[in-house]
Structure 1
Amino acid sequence: MNTNHKHFHIAILDMYSGVDNEGMRCIKKIITAFGEQEAIPVTYTIFDVRQKLEVPGMEFDAYISTGGPGNPSPVGEAWERKFFNFLDQLLHFNQNRRNRTKKHLFLICHSFQMACIHWQLAAVSKRRKTSFGTFPVHKTLAGRKDPLLNALEDPFYIVDSRDFQVTQPNQQVFESMGAKLLCLEKIRPHVPLERAVMAIRFSNEIVGTQFHPEADAEGMLRYFLREDKKTSIIANYGEAKYSDMIRHLNDPEKIVRTEAVIISSFLKNAYLKTAVPPVDAQLAQTL
């Protein structure tokens, strides 16, 4: 990809509230690898949303908002208002026809749930039990056509870690917003419950996943092979679940593939759309 090496500025919205996590390391790794692979200068700036009330302005090219702990339903805290204002600001910026170069946003897990609540796209509720591990997810018809997912199999495998779920998509809001449901959680014929929404394209520039596409299979494997983590997972979820996770993390066609494709595809698309004037965007796709 050659677009005269325009500098690519990325904002990372840190939603972890100071809690130890693997996600931030993985996101930084993917961004760095993307810049090296595409031979373009990439920089990122981290905004501590929940602890320092920091949110970026519209001066960045792309935005990644992380997962995080806790209940995604707002309770009126200042950081929530700032985050929701950021979402609306970016959406309105892109809707303004005078802004020819749009802003691209990727929402992960907790951020994804909060966006669904704020834009009233679906219900968000607490699960009966935590979803934790590696699972297959199934594309919808829109998901099979979406450039973010078309390099992945159907179903493809993801890393999931959540106590809450997005269900009951509001079709009227989806249509008015131009949003598309991209994939659903694994099929469970023996469970009489609605399958959770696992990814939504909110607009041409805004997309989000319930799962963790940043999850680093190699790093997670090291983490879960630690004796303390192995003991904890087996105690909470059983030995069969632990064995499945280790097997999926070792399989290059499962978590490794998902990690390599989704966020990198988002970044590449965002870079092409911001580095090349809109009139030339179609030509850029052939580069």
Structure 2
Amino acid sequence: MIQAQKPEIKVAILDLYDGIANEGMRGFREILDRYKVKNELNLSYEVFDVRKKVEMPSTNFDIYISSGGPGSPIDSEGTEWEKKYFQLLDKLEDHNLSNTAQKKYGFFVCHSFQLLCRKYQLGDINMRKSPSFGVLPIHKTGAALDELVFENLADPFYSVDSRLWQVINPDEKRFIELGMQLQAIEKERPYVDLPRAMMAIRFSEYFFSTQFHPEADAKGVKSLLLKEEKKNEVVSEHGIDKYNEMLERLEDPDKITHTQNTMIPNFLDQAILSLQEA
């Protein structure tokens, strides 16, 4: 009875996995379910299959979480689902630029990050020489010193990186022009003469995005790593020692478990506090 009297907070989860089995959607649901119980909120969420079924939410939600997904972030240009996806983002941005007190918040992960970087022309998008997969360090930039989404995260902090594509070579002029901030980059690799990928961007006061997977948890990654196909892929690419190190990092509560319990909840804190004050 008390719960029903609280103002409803509506979250849209945009599923960009194109029907491919994944751990990401479970991660988002579990974070939202835990957050709802912990904070005793009247929070509901609805999932939209953006790519496979061309499902798109209305602008009546308070918070939008957009997932990772398979395939090229370039080849979808001009498709029906992408046009509708970008139209939704444009509507949300227009809403946020209006005098309305209640703003719309968005969190965009991996494939969504890459699509937005292409939309805003923030850097170069290309395929990596080899897939990046594992529990890897993420380094904050100077712009992230006061970033609330990163509050209580070390520098570097650890999260799951899983991508074949990447966004590199930030266009600093474009960032300044649009008022956006590069918040994190991938680990330094002094022995590899390749640019470091952009890993987190604040697009606006209301939109935040990561090229890594802050929704990932140890259970999901471990089940993936233990599959013979994935194990062979990682060992072939990085060696057995690195594979065993990944498994060890999954057991460390200060690494991806801490990131999963911290980052998206920080974003939700920021969004929901703003909604409650409006």
1:95 and 2:88 are equivalent in the alignment = no
Residue of structure 2 in register with 1:122 after alignment: 123
Change (3 A) 1:252 1:110: same
Deviations 1:102-153 (A, max 9, x none): 1000000000000000011222111111111111111011112200012100
Equivalent residues, number: 274
Deviations 1:66-125 (A, max 9, x none): 0000000133111111111112111121111x2121100000000000000001122211
TM score, norm. by length of structure 2:
0.94
Residue of structure 2 in register with 1:268 after alignment: 269
Question: Is the Cα–Cα contact under 8 Å of residues 144 and 150 in structure 1 kept in the other structure?
Answer: no
Question: Is the Cα–Cα contact under 8 Å of residues 151 and 266 in structure 2 kept in the other structure?
Answer: no
Q: 2:80 is matched with which residue: 59, 65, 78? A: 78
Question: Is the Cα–Cα contact under 8 Å of residues 59 and 88 in structure 2 kept in the other structure?
Answer: no
Q: Return the offset for 1:224.
A: 2.6
Question: Is the Cα–Cα contact under 8 Å of residues 131 and 161 in structure 1 kept in the other structure?
Answer: yes
Q: Return the offset for 1:41.
A: 1.5
1:173 and 2:158 are equivalent in the alignment = no
Change (3 A) 1:71 1:228: closer
Residue of structure 2 in register with 1:250 after alignment: 251
Superposition RMSD in Å:
1.6
Question: Is the Cα–Cα contact under 8 Å of residues 185 and 196 in structure 2 kept in the other structure?
Answer: yes
Distance 1:191 1:231 in 2: 23
Structure 2, unaligned runs of 5 or more: none
Secondary structure of residue in 2 paired with 1:142 = helix
Question: Is the Cα–Cα contact under 8 Å of residues 182 and 199 in structure 1 kept in the other structure?
Answer: yes
1:9 and 2:10 are equivalent in the alignment = yes
Once the two structures are aligned, what percentage of the paired residues are identical?
43
Secondary structure of residue in 2 paired with 1:115 = helix
Change (3 A) 1:125 1:228: closer
Q: Does 225-234 or 69-78 show the bigger shift?
A: 225-234
2:79 alignment partner AA: E
Distance 1:187 1:228 in 2: 28
Residue of structure 1 in register with 2:202 after alignment: 201
Deviations 1:179-211 (A, max 9, x none): 111011001111111111000000000000000
Runs of 4+ in 1 over 2 A off after TM superposition: 218-238
Question: Is the Cα–Cα contact under 8 Å of residues 167 and 197 in structure 1 kept in the other structure?
Answer: yes
Residue of structure 2 in register with 1:154 after alignment: 155
Distance 1:124 1:266 in 2: 26
